[in-house]
Amino acid sequence: MSARKSPLSDFRTILEPLFRRHDTRRVFDAFIRLAACAVAAQTREAEYLEEAKQWDKAGLELFAKALGALVSEMESKPFEDILGGYYMDCAISTKGQKWNGEFHTPKHVCDLMAKMTMGDMESLPTEGPITVCEPACGAGAMILSVGEACSPEVRRRLRVTAIDINRTACDMAFINTTLWGIPTRVIHGNTLSSEYWAAWSNIHYIAPWLPYVLRPQTPEAKEQGEPPAPFEVERIQSSLQQQEFVL
């Protein structure tokens, strides 16, 4: 039997005072937005400040404590999509799930699909980037399974493009892939209509040949939140048509 968690070890419990004063979805979206900015290595500062000014000091302190608790919980459950599960259980209604077509894929299914997609790891290129496209990433559960299936050396060579129409899902995927060290470019867009509105690269994806401390100064880091360029859209469409390493 596992030991019962103390209130301060559970990000859900920490956020409860805010749930009593604000709409649950509003609180969750704000927490995820602020957390994504916090793990972005100072590349999403303007976005952080824009959201932070909507909350008082006490609320911001609760969000900070909740992020610390989330990180601790993630460490105890490697490569598991904790955020996506909570989002489906608490932050979105059953009706909302049906209307938006949002469903959380269980980890064992994600693990199986990752193994089927990547195949025999020994057949992967021995050098250079390994591109993976996830056209409806949600919170990034399948990307986490791909990352877990890879050795650390192969994981560092991944270049994941993760797309979702839900902005909150994009932020959850950004958090998950950043904290688990999976180089990922997260795009807010509609894969079916080829409309893309914004994109963010996590610190593992940005200029990987540079030390981490220098990456926030690169042009790519300074373009966080901008729509992807036409050449990137063409590359995405080509990847989807070729169906190579598409989850």
pLDDT for position 242: 75
Cα-based torsion angle of the residue sequence 158, 210, 71, 138 in order, rounded to the nearest 10 degrees: -40
What is the number of alpha carbons within 13 Å of residue 31 lying toward its C-beta? Answer: 29
* Residue 206 in this model has a pLDDT that exceeds 90: yes
In angstroms, the CA 80 to CA 111 distance is 10
For residue range 80-118, list pLDDT tens digits in order.
Answer: 999 998 888 775 544 444 445 566 788 999 999 888 888
- CATH placement of domain 107-242: 3.40.50
pLDDT for position 6: 45
Non-local CB neighbours of 135 within 8 Å, separated by 6+ positions: 163, 191, 240, 246, 247
pLDDT for position 4: 45
pLDDT for position 95: 47
Residue 66 CB burial class (10 angstroms; 0-12, 13-18, ≥19): buried
* Residue 169 in this model has a pLDDT that exceeds 70: yes
- Domain coordinates of the chain in residue numbers? 9-84, 107-242
Mean pLDDT of the chain: 89
Give me the helix-helix angle, 11-19 and 57-76, nearest 10°: 150
- Per-residue pLDDT averaged across 124-147, rounded? 92
* Residue 166 in this model has a pLDDT that exceeds 80: yes
